[in-house]
Structure 1
Amino acid sequence: MSPLSSSFLPTPASTTGAGSTLDAALRATPRVLAIAGSDPSGGAGIQADLKSIAANGGYGMAAITALTAQNTHGVRAVHVPPADFLTAQLEAISEDISIDAVKIGMLGDSAVIAAVRSWLVKARPAVVVLDPVMVATSGDRLLQEAAEAELRELLPLADLITPNLAELAILLNEPLAGDREAALAQGKRLAAQAGTTVLVKGGHLDGGECPDALVNTEGLLAHDVVVVDGGRIATRNSHGTGCSLSSAMATVQARLGDWESSLRAVKPWLQGALRESGVLDVGTGNGPVHHFHHLVPRGQDVPAEGQFAAVLRQDAGPDLDAIYGLDFIRALADGSLTERHFAYYLAQDAIYLNGYSRVLSRAAAIAPTEAEQLFWARSAQQCLEVESELHRTWLSTRTVDSGLGPVTKSYVDHLLASSVSGSYGVLVAAVLPCFWLYAEVGATLHGQFLAAGSPSGHPYAEWLRTYADEEFAAATRQAVRITDDAARAASETEREAMRLAFRQSCRYEVEFFDAPRLHAEPESLPKPVG
């Protein structure tokens, strides 16, 4: 909610431009070509690619580079057809069909790599994801050692490279990374050598957490290393995880145009695919993931009314505590906040509101009831009205650094990713902290202002009074009810994805309130008086 309007709107963070990434998210189904080997057991390779593309809303196509004899226990034999036949496949597809993204997997030998390289240079697809399939999870070698040099030459043609840790080490001619820091260091070296983005995956590292990191040393990301956290899923069924991840990234990137947003959309889906893999009961070894877990009929274990909302409120507790501990919040409450910091905060808020209105419009478009459609549509409209008010009455009269801040971008990129997850529940859970945390913090600050006797001369008095707006409080309660209802209609896997999206937004709320201090360094925020 803007501080300049007594209506039901949240605050924090922005899009990369006037709707550029969201417009891409609303395109027609991406046409994604997978160039990879075949797995007759259906868990990896082309079979996993096509499932993954379809599960993430794309239209999948396939050019076969190799035939394997394998099952859930390992690879028994590999047959690589003539490279000129692969070229014929690629040319037949690209001469007839517009390709929005390409995922490259198993290539087999030098001739195949050369064929793919030649076609890429000629076709120049907009999105290229390279999964350098060299070593299977089972330990089987899937690329001839003599072809490793040719594969390294292919790396600069990719927009994203997704090696496992063993492949990362091979590509650099270095020992296998033993911990996260070593893996990230190798990712930076590979990104610098290839001049592209590398996804350093945490699945093969030890520990209960499984963070993935996007690495780019050329300024194409918000930071050189962008980490997307996630818990480790305890399962032996990880066959085809790398194939599935890379093809999903290609599909979602063709819709979003931002690697961080794409990873934040794909990761919860893949975690659900791992979590629900056991229900497939395929094979006696390392089984496949469940690509279509989100389409499985829900069970009967439905949370009681208000139960899921209570869980979310508990999840938000540490982040609320962190917000109250920020110098920005304390200085805002007692009036010692400098206009410079407040101006930066409002400028970022104005940028955010423009993009956030589009996310709320997406919620209105997919809401299951007319009442919810109207609620999100009114919220989206209010975003635009408040943005205009901010510019007209405050920002237009001051010199303000109005450039897009990194926290602002990351927060809304996360929301954009949630908006294309295919799940209404995940989307509303992601936008909820912008209502809920903002309302609670605002009510607390307004209470402190009243307790201090509403001191005259407080530079942000009018701003603080808007926090007492009952219309916004009522809208927040409605947003909480909507999210709780969505959880009651969701599967257990979707509820977990909702909690993850909610927690990520809560963390961004903290970072957004702290962003003015980080932006203004080395100048520090004034300490509260008393």
Structure 2
Amino acid sequence: MSDATTSAVTTGRDAGAPPPRVLSIAGTDPTGGAGIQADLKSIAANGGYGMAVVTALVAQNTQGVRSIHVPPTAFLVEQLDAVSDDVEIDAVKIGMLFDEHIVAAVSAWLAAVRPPLVVLDPVMIAASGDSLVSGEAVAAIRALLAEVDLVTPNVPELAALVEAPPASGWDELLEQARRLATDHGVLVVAKGGHLEGPAARDALVAPDGEIVEFTSDRVDTRNSHGTGCSLSSAIATLRVRTGSWPAAVGEAKRWLTAALRDSDSLAVGRGSGPVSHFVGLWDAAGSLGPLGAHVDRVIPGSSAEPASSDGDRNTPGAAEVERAWWASIEPIRTATDELAFVRYLGDGTLDREAFVRYLAQDALYLREYARALAAASLLAPTPEEQAFWAASANGAIAAETELHAGRVGHESLFSAEPFDTTSAYVDHLLAFAARGDYLGLVAAILPCFWMYDDIGRRLAARRRPDHPFGDWLATYDDPAFAASTRSAIEIVTRHAAAVDGEERERMRRAFEVSARHELRFFAAPLQVPSD
């Protein structure tokens, strides 16, 4: 419902801030599925700029580790100093630390540099079962926990850190994670991937005993090479972007689940292959065809309008979808324009209490709408779409909360209860988010941009010096929101043009239902009397 949707990428970053600059300190994997190679892919896939300092050169592939070469510790220190002397580091992800000398060098560097965030993936045992550290390194890594914020051990690594047999069940795993978190004052991501069961369960365990659980369907694939590296790097990047550990873990888990689902498509190696870090992005790139060839279908998130393919002359382009969808809700748009609330707001005769009720409901809506936008960002198939929806989420929850509260005060604004119309609209959006249905979700989100911009421009034109709501109407006249609306329209209609007719109609219905919710939302403030 609001128009300030173009500020920072998420609530954890200031407007105009660069992408998270994340340093990986880890070993290598020449097949690209684990270690530093996986870290850099994961950081990039989650919106960060990756850097790398090598701790060990590992001769390995998807079937196992063959040998490990450790460069001199002095050279490791030179690498670390070279980065930190020049680059502002937002987060550090630590992976393979082969021996106690390397652990000591990294610990000393952390103490001197004090990076804002440190995530430790205590790489000790590869997915193949091979040991990746010396015996003395385990105790040193345990001591290193004092220098980190969050640690992400798998089941055998957690057992090694708490000096216990590997957990055989979820409750035992949580108990070991609680012990590690409490003893070392560190957040622990307890990962249940090694446990049996249809669900993949993880938990964020805090030193005070608080637990946040994350559950998803278990992906049936042998390709889990580098999942620990990839998850920890994603968490480090997303923690910078979101400003929240639970949000970072939850979003990283959802991204990794999608990457696991697509992993079989890579066909890398004959053993445990890597995950598909850039799931969705390569589908878009693949639609280009051979270099120099005619592009005959849309690249989701690109600026090119899709052309009808030779095989289906009835496939519409994005512009045609835009015109058809806008025309399909013309009766709803007309009814919205004719609402008493809209007319009275425009001419300045709206009752002040009705206006306050509207602001309160708008603020309540925006809290949940921001969740829907954040879910769209997580599910987005391209970095450009991911950034757009995330920026919109930040604007909805941060800027608009202050915009509303500045007019009626925080206490009265947030003491309100949601109207049934508000709850119904929110439930409609979040149902798509809960199912991981990106196309349905963005189609349902679109009217909040498109109709709001359309109505707002006409309302803004009715300002006059003595208008009692003139300052509010002025917010509608925002070129940045108009640009965001245009971007949202282009993203959604490109996707709609690229899918088959049945899926396109499903998206259109989601769009139309949201348009009806917009109508009811504007009608509600005059239908619900004040207490």
**Which category of TM-score, normalised to the shorter sequence, fits these structures?**
0.5 to 0.7
1:128 aligns with 2:118: yes
Matched ranges for 1:126-525 at <5 A: 126-218=116-208, 224-297=210-283, 350=363, 353=366, 426=438, 429=441, 488=496
Structure 1 position 217, deviation (Å): 2.8
Aligned equivalents of 1:41, 1:24: Cα separation in 2: 37
**Aligned partner letter, 1:288:** P
Asked whether the equivalents of residues 376 and 438 of structure 2 are also in contact (C-alpha less than 8 Å), the reply is: no
Match for 2:105 among 111, 115, 118? 115
**Aligned partner letter, 2:250:** R
Match for 2:77 among 64, 78, 87? 87
Distance 1:487 1:190, change over 3 A: farther
**Deviation string for 1:183-215 (max 9, x for gaps)?**
111111111111111111121111111122111
Distance 1:490 1:180, change over 3 A: farther
Aligned equivalents of 2:175, 2:416: Cα separation in 1: 34
Asked whether the equivalents of residues 369 and 396 of structure 2 are also in contact (C-alpha less than 8 Å), the reply is: no
2:32 match: 42
**Deviation string for 1:117-149 (max 9, x for gaps)?**
000000100111100011111111111111211
Structure 1 position 268, deviation (Å): 2.1
**Deviation string for 1:271-304 (max 9, x for gaps)?**
12111111211111111111111212258999x9
**Aligned partner letter, 2:125:** V
Task: Give the total of aligned pairs.
Answer: 372
Distance 1:147 1:384, change over 3 A: closer
Asked whether the equivalents of residues 119 and 149 of structure 2 are also in contact (C-alpha less than 8 Å), the reply is: yes
Segments of 5+ residues of structure 1 without an aligned counterpart are: 1-7, 10-17, 306-345, 368-372, 403-410, 437-480, 503-530
**Aligned partner letter, 1:167:** E
Asked whether the equivalents of residues 178 and 206 of structure 2 are also in contact (C-alpha less than 8 Å), the reply is: yes
Asked whether the equivalents of residues 446 and 492 of structure 2 are also in contact (C-alpha less than 8 Å), the reply is: no
Aligned equivalents of 1:109, 1:162: Cα separation in 2: 19
Structure 1 position 251, deviation (Å): 1.2
Distance 1:399 1:24, change over 3 A: closer
**Deviation string for 1:280-333 (max 9, x for gaps)?**
11111111111111212258999x99xxxxxxxxxxxxxxxxxxxxxxxxxxxx
**Deviation string for 1:156-177 (max 9, x for gaps)?**
2111100000000000001111
Distance 1:186 1:292, change over 3 A: same
Asked whether the equivalents of residues 155 and 166 of structure 2 are also in contact (C-alpha less than 8 Å), the reply is: yes
Structure 1 position 234, deviation (Å): 0.7
Structure 1 position 401, deviation (Å): 11
Asked whether the equivalents of residues 84 and 113 of structure 2 are also in contact (C-alpha less than 8 Å), the reply is: yes
2:463 match: none
Secondary structure, aligned partner of 1:183: helix
**Aligned partner letter, 1:429:** L
Aligned equivalents of 1:384, 1:97: Cα separation in 2: 30
2:515 match: none
Instruction: Please identify, of 347-356 and 117-126, the stretch whose mean Cα deviation from structure 2 is larger.
Output: 347-356
Distance 1:76 1:160, change over 3 A: same
Aligned equivalents of 1:138, 1:398: Cα separation in 2: 55
Distance 1:400 1:193, change over 3 A: same
Aligned equivalents of 1:196, 1:382: Cα separation in 2: 29
Asked whether the equivalents of residues 268 and 274 of structure 2 are also in contact (C-alpha less than 8 Å), the reply is: yes
Structure 1 position 385, deviation (Å): 8.0
**Aligned partner letter, 1:283:** G
Structure 1 position 28, deviation (Å): 1.6
Structure 1 position 249, deviation (Å): 1.0
1:100 aligns with 2:86: no
Secondary structure, aligned partner of 1:227: strand
Aligned equivalents of 2:103, 2:398: Cα separation in 1: 50
Aligned equivalents of 1:78, 1:177: Cα separation in 2: 29
Relative contact order, higher structure (CA 8 A, sep 6+): 1
**Deviation string for 1:490-517 (max 9, x for gaps)?**
899xx9xxx9xx9xxxxxxxxxxxxxxx
Asked whether the equivalents of residues 428 and 483 of structure 1 are also in contact (C-alpha less than 8 Å), the reply is: no
Aligned equivalents of 1:36, 1:160: Cα separation in 2: 16
Structure 1 position 76, deviation (Å): 1.2
Distance 1:130 1:28, change over 3 A: same
Identical-residue share of aligned pairs (%): 48
**Deviation string for 1:387-413 (max 9, x for gaps)?**
8778977975799699xxxxxxxx9xx
Aligned equivalents of 2:374, 2:270: Cα separation in 1: 46
1:445 match: none
Larger Rg computed on CA atoms: 2
1:64 match: 54
1:53 match: 43
Structure 1 position 353, deviation (Å): 3.5
Distance 1:50 1:430, change over 3 A: same
Aligned equivalents of 1:119, 1:386: Cα separation in 2: 41
Distance 1:58 1:179, change over 3 A: same
**Aligned partner letter, 2:154:** N
**Deviation string for 1:396-445 (max 9, x for gaps)?**
5799699xxxxxxxx9xx99xx9xxxx9x749828959999xxxxxxxxx
Secondary structure, aligned partner of 1:293: coil
Aligned equivalents of 2:447, 2:140: Cα separation in 1: 52
Distance 1:178 1:39, change over 3 A: same
Structure 1 position 227, deviation (Å): 1.1
Aligned equivalents of 1:426, 1:26: Cα separation in 2: 27
Match for 2:22 among 29, 32, 37? 32
Aligned equivalents of 1:87, 1:383: Cα separation in 2: 41
**Aligned partner letter, 2:441:** A
